[in-house]
Amino acid sequence: MAMTSKPPVAEKRLGSLKAAIWVNETKNGPRHNVTLSRLYKNDGEQWQETISFGKNDLLPLRKLLDQAHTWILEEQQSTKDQSD
């Protein structure tokens, strides 16, 4: 049986940095996860993605994580409001 992967429910970008927000439906309700990556062009000018970050990426990553965290909190509140 072939598995198909679902796209992230949201993405946040800050320059070449990306936070992908994923949702997993559980019996206790939705659970969100975040993956981080950095986009770059290789020698052949093709876009690539890595999960390795340099010193200059760290503070922007912090801001990106804050944006992802805010999105998740707002999504949880929206879901809660809809069920009330």
Q: Which residue has the higher pLDDT, 79 or 29?
A: 29
Is residue 33 within 8 Å of 22, Cβ to Cβ?
yes
d(CA 55, CA 61): 10
Global pTM reads: 0.85
Give the sign of the dihedral formed by CA 36, CA 71, CA 9, CA 11: negative
**pLDDT single digits (tens) 32-43:** 999 999 999 999
